[in-house]
Amino acid sequence: MILNQKSNYFLDWKEVFENENPIFLEIGMGNGEFIVHMAKENLNANFIGIDVSKEIFRKAVSRVKRSGLKNIRLMRIEGSEFLCKFVKSETLSGVYINFPDPWHKKSHKERRLVNEPFIYLVSDRLKNEGIFIFVSDNEEYTKSVWGLLKKFDNFSPLWDHGLRRDFPEYYKTKYARKWLALGLPIYYIGFKKTGNIEIPEYVKEYYPLLNLSKEDLYMPLVEFKIKKEKSSEFIKDILSILPKGLIYRDKNALIKVLDFYYNEESIIADIVCVEGSFRQRFFLDISLKKEVLKISIHDSDDPDPTFGIHKTLAIFASILKEKFTGLELLQNTTRIKEV
Ligand SMILES: C[S@@+](CC[C@H](N)C(=O)[O-])C[C@H]1O[C@@H](n2cnc3c(N)ncnc32)[C@H](O)[C@@H]1O
């Protein structure tokens, strides 16, 4: 019932659910109340519930277990990451988002889940005739989503006027019930996909996971053979020349070294890499064994091998190559060849 975040990309949903029933996704399912209701009412459909929060996810897991329903799968993961990694184009029959965090502060609005790139992503992952339902108590967020969806030629409103303020048949979670009890409004947006559109380049930059093909799903490494004998202090010598702070920036990505840890055989760099909306933090391992100096991702880590991961390795490799004579490149499996 619980799907592992580290599963293979593009899960085979037929295999996961052991049937070919239509698949509906709820992003930010909270404690699972809505998804359990929907799955109970629609036994001939499959439901995937995801949420980023560990604590809330646990609650949803218990609720789904208690329900005994076989047509639900859950994963603890961020919504756009899930869509990029595990869902192929034209897979879903519906996507529900109930009460997404509105991020009230102006400076935080860019953290909102639903924006233009996200609609392109959902549009791509939906089947034709697939539906997108957005429910919120926040008028301003709702209006911005409504405005965005109206601009998409391949989405048409589900109701006379795609935005409505009452929807008696729609299941009300505890969150919704509380809100209504206070006499406050809830806004519902419903659209149906009517055709395909291509994902633009800027959306692929915003969601770098969209650029990873099957062949790219390996963890890169760089190895040097040390030609001349190096002192027993070689690791310390390396450490003394490695840069901290920002080591790379372009219009879409930045890479920052936060800290270093070391022993006689290796240096571990704590790195943060932001590409578009995607942030990864990982440990880079620079280790010395016999005459081989290896730069790789530390065994304890498993970041997604985006451009930023390859670039980080390549940057460290070129710094070492430039500062130390007598390093012979043995292998460089990064996608950046100029080491
Ligand atoms: C206000 S709660 C609403 C919960 C539930 N949908 C309901 O109606 O009761 C928002 C939920 O979305 C989750 N969430 C926020 N951003 C998310 C994202 N980008 N991807 C997945 N879940 C997210 C939060 O952890 C939280 O559980």
Please name which of 194, 119, 201 lies closest in space to residue 153, comparing C-alpha atoms. Answer: 194
Q: Do domains 13-211 and 217-332 have the same CATH topology?
A: no
Class of domain 13-211: alpha beta
Closest residue (by CA) to atom 10 of ligand 1?
A: 100
Closest residue (by CA) to atom 24 of ligand 1?
A: 28
- Domain parsing of the chain, residue ranges: 13-211, 217-332
Contact 74, 64 (CB under 8 A): yes
Closest residue (by CA) to atom 11 of ligand 1?
A: 28
> What predicted TM-score, i.e. pTM, was given to this entire model?
0.93
What is the sign of the dihedral through the CA atoms of 310, 314, 317 and 319?
A: negative
Give the pLDDT confidence score for residue 228 in this predicted structure.
74
Q: Residue for token digits 């998804």?
A: 35
Contact 44, 17 (CB under 8 A): no
Contact 146, 163 (CB under 8 A): yes
**DSSP state at residue 45:** S
User: Within the chain, which residues score under 70 in pLDDT?
Assistant: 104-109
Give the pLDDT confidence score for residue 108 in this predicted structure.
65
Q: Residue for token digits 């969150």?
A: 175
> What average pLDDT does the structure give for the chain?
94
Cα–Cα distance, 60 to 3 (Å, whole number):
13
Q: Residue by residue, what is the 3-state secondary structure of 50-64?
A: EECCHHHHHHHHHHH
User: 12, 101, 124, 302: which one is catalytic?
Assistant: 101
Residues comprising the binding site for S-adenosyl-L-methionine? Answer: 26, 51, 78, 101
Give the pLDDT confidence score for residue 107 in this predicted structure.
61
Task: Give residue ranges with CB within 6 A of ligand 1.
Answer: 27-30, 34, 50-53, 56, 78-79, 98-101, 113, 173, 175
Q: Which two tokens stand for residue 165?
A: 């303020």
Give the pLDDT confidence score for residue 71 in this predicted structure.
98
Contact 191, 132 (CB under 8 A): yes
Class of domain 217-332: alpha beta
